[in-house]
Chains A and B, each alone.
Chain A
Amino acid sequence: MHASINTLTSHTPAPSTSRKPRVLKWRVVDIVVASVIGVASGVIFWAWGLAWSPLSALLAFTPGLEGLLAGGWLFAGVLGGLIIRKPGAAVYTEVVAAVVSMLIGTQWGFSTLIWGVVEGLGAEIVLALFFYANWRLGVALLAGAGAGVAVGLLDTTFTSYAALDIGYKAVYFVSAVVSGTVLAGLLSWLAVRGLARTGALSRFAAGRESGPTDRALSQPAQ
């Protein structure tokens, strides 16, 4: 892909984007877009919290499968991390989302904030392990799973699920990880890919990977 950009721009002295040094400092647009994603996710968290009550009531008759619903609160961190690509993006986005849902009003009150921090860290650690340099599907899935591990540990230790039998706790933990991998990892990755195609990410590296973003050149007659 990048080779074709270079041939197109060979007459200009401008360097290709692929050779740009990676900047890890947050720009204003990074902060604001991460915040906006966090806020939008927070509203979805809140709505998910409302839907969660009846859904978990259904699952309340199953041994620990309520963990499958946990992923609905994990996607913000992975999404923010994948779009912003800066250290701390996953934690920041997840925390903003948690605080927003808390401000609107959830049944978990201030503990929502603590959960947000830990879930964000779960995803953040995975992204950091890849030195904030790999943004492929596999890493996204792992980041989702990381958030799932975090919430699984928290829920089975500090919430009402701590009162469950150890076997049910294990079921809960595994279903939380599965939920994180799919709902937070896979869906976020798909969302970022879709966003990049709409041109909305033109100011982010995540939106430029597939080639030049000007329309005239993004669809050559090949």
Chain B
Amino acid sequence: MSLMTPEIRPSAIARVNPVAKLAVALLISCALMLSIDWVSAAVALALEAVLLAWCGLSARQFWLRTAPVWIAAPFAVLTTVLYGQDSGAVLLSAGFVSVTEGSVALALAIGLRILAIGIPGIVLLATTDPTDLGDGLAQVLRLPARFVLGALAGLRLVGMFIDDWHSLALARRARGVGDGGGLRGRGRRFGGLAFALLVLSVRRGSKLATAMEARGFGSDIPRTWARESVFGLRDSLVVVIGAVIAATAITAAVLAGTWHFVLA
């Protein structure tokens, strides 16, 4: 499983402290979430597209990673076209459904917004090694080390869960209950597999906890870190760039008069 040790190509963004990337993605996400309008989303998306050149992802990786966003956006657009707040001329009306100029405009804004929020997060994460993120969270943000390391150790088990899931499914086939039953049978099998995986994972977790404690984990002495997580000038600069993108998007929307605060 490559999740824990992803093959990250050396690139400008890959060298940035993960905490800085986290801050950037949160800044942009939060700024865009405050309003539903097409200008702020479009401006942010355009600026992000320029920065993608430095992310070091191959085209194939980029499309593969961001595929969920490209799939999700059209569906959200559809829902909004059909059920969005109506205004302006009615284009179509049938039962619950009513399509108006207003709901179509909203739908466009929603589609852009999903892309603008989703893509930077995915791209920044794709260039981050979870171990480095853990180092940053504990050393730079000073989150409690016991919890950061506990989560990191748990994360390592993902690959094992996938193998377990595979074996569990094969074992069900061998026991005569691996197919049939239609949709209900499929649902029951999924539930059974998920529960079996839960049992295995809690047992693994208990054993792992013992192994970690046996190596001095969880005592009250403050621990040292074998690798230092440095938050330098470059990292601050990256955060500033993120802030500029967020601010530009909001300013452009306000100036264009399309800003629409979600709580208003």
Interface of A toward B, CB cutoff 8 Å: 26-29, 31-40, 42-44, 49-50, 53, 56-57, 60-64, 66, 83, 92, 96, 99-100, 102-114, 157-158, 160-165, 168, 191, 194-195, 198, 200-201, 203
Given A37-B198, A50-B68, the answer on whether A63 and B209 have CB atoms closer than 8 Å is: no
When C-beta atoms are compared, the residue in chain A nearest to B121 turns out to be A109
Q: In the complex, what residue of chain B is closest to A168 when comparing beta carbons? A: B83
B84 near A163: Cβ-Cβ < 8 Å? yes
Alpha-carbon distance A162/B264, docked complex (angstroms): 11
With A53-B68, A160-B76, A168-B83 already in contact, the answer to whether A109 and B122 are too (CB < 8 A) is yes
- Are A191 and B195 in touch, CB under 8 angstroms? yes
Any A CB within 8 A of the CB of B263: yes
Which of chain B's residues have a CB closer than 8 A to the CB of A110? 22, 25-26, 29, 117, 120-121, 124-125
Give the distance in Å from the alpha carbon of A49 to the alpha carbon of B113 in the complex: 18
Q: Is the interface of A mostly helix, strand, loop or mixed?
A: helix
Classify the interface of chain B: helix, strand, loop or mixed. Answer: helix
Which A residues are in CB contact (< 8 Å) with B194?
A: 44
The answer to whether residues A56 and B106 also contact, given A109-B122, A162-B262, A195-B198 and a CB cut-off of 8 A, is: no
Instruction: Given A38-B151, A60-B79, A103-B3, verify A164-B22 contact (CB < 8 Å).
Output: no
- Contact A100-B86, Cβ < 8 Å, known A27-B218, A29-B209, A32-B153: no
Whether B150 lies near A32 (C-beta < 8 A) is yes
Q: Which residues of A contact B122 (CB under 8 A)?
A: 105, 109
Q: Is B188 an interface residue (CB 8 A)?
A: no
CB neighbours of A57 from chain B (8 A)? 75, 78
Please determine whether B151 and A96 come into contact, CB atoms closer than 8 angstroms.
yes
Interface-centre pick from B3, B106, B124, B201 (highest chain A CB count, 10 A): B201
A90 CB → nearest B CB, Å? 14
| A164-B80, A164-B83 known; A157-B262 Cβ under 8 A | yes
Q: Which residues of B sit under 8 angstroms from A161, Cβ to Cβ? A: 79
Answer yes or no: B96 CB below 8 A from chain A CBs. Answer: yes
Query: Nearest 4 pairs between A and B by C-beta?
Result: A109-B121, A35-B154, A36-B205, A28-B218
Given contacts A92-B147, A103-B125, A200-B202, contact A39 B157 (CB under 8 A): yes
In this assembly, does B197 line the interface, its C-beta being within 8 Å of a C-beta of chain A?
yes
Q: A83 — which chain B residues lie within 8 A by C-beta?
A: 202
CB within 8 Å of A: which B27-61 residues: 29-30, 33, 36
Sample 7 A-B pairs with CB under 8 A, ordered by A number.
A29-B206, A57-B78, A110-B29, A112-B121, A161-B79, A164-B79, A165-B84
- A110 to B125 alpha-carbon distance, docked (Å): 9
> A99 — nearest CB in chain B belongs to which residue?
B151
Q: Given the known A-B contacts A53-B71, A107-B71, are A28 and B212 also in contact in the complex, defined by CB atoms under 8 Å?
A: yes
Chain B nearest CB, measured from A144 CB (Å): 17
B228 interface hit (Cβ, 8 Å): no
Residues of B within 8 A of A157 (CB): 262-263
